[in-house]
Amino acid sequence: MTGAELELDCRAMLCPRPIIELARHVGDVAVGAVVAVVATDAAARHDVPAWCRMRGHTYLGEDLAEDGAPRYLVRRDA
């Protein structure tokens, strides 16, 4: 599991809320830091990488939170 400076708990949030939360909080970490988005909505698996491509950040992949929920990792690049 990749260490994240910030982890957003977006469990039970439906699309587009996990992406809205990511957009609101990515600026809370320094450039080069990792933000983790824990989201149970299946759309997040496609939305997070697409958001990264559109906004100039790096999608680092997916792992699992401690409870087994999907966790999407984003490195802030801008």
Encode pLDDT of 22-74 as tens digits: 999 999 999 999 999 999 999 999 999 999 999 999 999 999 999 999 999 99
Euclidean distance between CA atoms 28 and 33, whole angstroms = 10
Straight-line distance from the first to the last Cα atom of the chain, in angstroms, rounded to the nearest whole number = 23
* pLDDT for 2: 62
* pLDDT for 5: 97
* pLDDT for 78: 85
* pLDDT for 46: 98
Q: Into which CATH architecture does domain 6-75 fall?
A: 2-Layer Sandwich (3.30)
Instruction: Using DSSP bridges, classify how beta strands 34-38 and 6-9 pair: parallel, antiparallel or unpaired.
Output: parallel
Helix (H, G, I), strand (E, B) or coil at 48: helix
Helix (H, G, I), strand (E, B) or coil at 22: helix
- The domain segmentation of the chain, as residue ranges, is 6-75
* pLDDT for 1: 47
